[in-house]
Amino acid sequence: MKKFSKSHGDIASIKQSYADDNVELLADVKRINLHYSNQPLRRECKTCQAPVRSDAVDIVNLGVGYVICENCGHLNGVFDDTEDFCNYLYADEDGTNYSSLDPAFLEDYDARVQNIYLPKIDFLFSSLVEEGGGLCSGDISILDFGCGAGHFVYAATNRGFKAQGIDVSRTLIDYASTAYREKYGVDLQNPFLQVHNEAELLEMMISSEATVVSFIGVLEHLRYPLRFFEAFKSSRSKYLYFSVPLFSLSCIVENVFPNIFPRQLGNGHTHLYSHSSLQYILGKYSLREVASWHFGSDAMDLRRSMIVSMAQNGCSERMLRIFQEDLFSSEILDQMQNVLDRHYAASEVHMLIAKYN
C-alpha cells in the first residue's frame, strides 16, 4: 500500500511560527550546530558503516558539512553525534535545548493532534486493516518511543488504541502527562514514562510485546538507530511504524537561503535518510514494507523562504500579498508538492514495516 501527499492547509497555521520566529529559531540552530561542529569527525555511515570521507563534503549548511554515502545513499553530517552532543540536545536542562527549536510544539496542542497526528494514526490503522487479520482498534497496542509531548499517544487513545509513550525529556513527559490528564482525567493511568538514556529505550524495545512499536520523527535523533531495528527483530512486536525526514529538495532550498530557519538540515538532524538507505536497512534486517505514505513540506519550505527573504529585502505588503495569493498560491503549493511526493523527492516518509513470517 502506497499513499501520496496531503493538503498543507491542515498545518499551515501551526507552522506559521517558522516564519514569525525565524530570527530566534535560526539563532538556536546556529548554537546547536556550533556545539555539533566541536564533536569528533564521523568515521562511519549511520546506516551501512561504510567510511565517511569528511574531505569530500557534498553540501554545507550553516557551518556543517554533509556527505552522501556512496554505498547506501544516506546523508551523513561529518561530525559524530556523540553522547555529549545527544545529552546536550535531549537530556540536559530537562531537554529544553531541543524543545526550544519549535515554539509551537507545546502550543495549539489539540490542533496539532487533530491535523498532524490523527492522520498518522488513521494511516496506520488503514494499513493494518489492509494487511489483514481482522483487527479492530481495541485489539492494537502501541508503544511510542520518543513520544515528546505525547501528541501521537493522545491521538491513538482518541481512536481507541491502547498506547504508551516513552521519552528521555522530563520537560516533554511532564507536558504530555498534564495534557493527557486534562483530556481524560485522573481515572486513566498516566501512559507516559521517562527514561534516562538511549540504552534504557533499547531495553524496553527488546522486551516489547506491543502490537506496534512506533518512532515518529525519532530515528534520526538516535545515536544508534540500527540497534532498534535489531531490537525490533528480537521483540514480540509485530509491526514497526516510523516517520523520518529525508534528504530532499528542502535541503537544497535551505542551502540557497542561509538566512532562513532550516527545518530539514538543522533541527537536531545530524544525518538524513534517503529512500535507498531505508531500503538498505530493510534488506539488512530482512524486513518487509507493509505500507508507506510519502509527503513533504518542500514546497512550503520554498514558499516560506521566499516570503521571509522578500520581507527582509524590503518588499511591500502588496507585493507579498500578490506573491502568496497569485504567484505562489496555496493551490499551486499543493500541486507542486504532489509532484515531488509522487516522484519520491519529498521531505518525509511514514512507513509501516514487519518481519517476514
pLDDT band, residue 302 (cuts 50/70/90): very high
Q: In this predicted model, what pLDDT tens digit does every residue of 128-183 receive, in sequence order?
A: 998 876 667 678 899 999 998 899 999 999 998 999 999 988 888 988 898 888 87
- Of 339, 262, 346, nearest to 66 by C-alpha is 262
> 187 Cβ partners below 8 Å, 6+ apart?
none
- The predicted pLDDT at position 133 comes to 64
- Of 141, 189, 148, 144, nearest to 165 by C-alpha is 144
- The predicted pLDDT at position 15 comes to 76
Dist. CA 109–CA 180, nearest whole Å: 11
Report DSSP state, residue 44: B
pLDDT value at 107 more than 70 = no
172, 90 contact by CB (below 8 A): no
Domain hosting residue 257, numbered range: 2-355
Domain count, the chain: 1
Q: What is the DSSP string of 180-230?
A: HHHHH-SSSPP-EEE-SSHHHHHHHHHT---SEEEEES-GGG-S-HHHHHH
Query: Helix (H, G, I), strand (E, B), or coil: what is residue 242?
Result: strand
Strand 239-245 to 141-145 pairing:
unpaired
Can you read off the three cell numbers belonging to residue 171?
520537560
This prediction's pTM: 0.90
79 backbone φψ class: left, alpha, beta (φ>0; ψ -120 to 50): beta
Q: Domain holding 281: CATH number?
A: 3.40.50.150
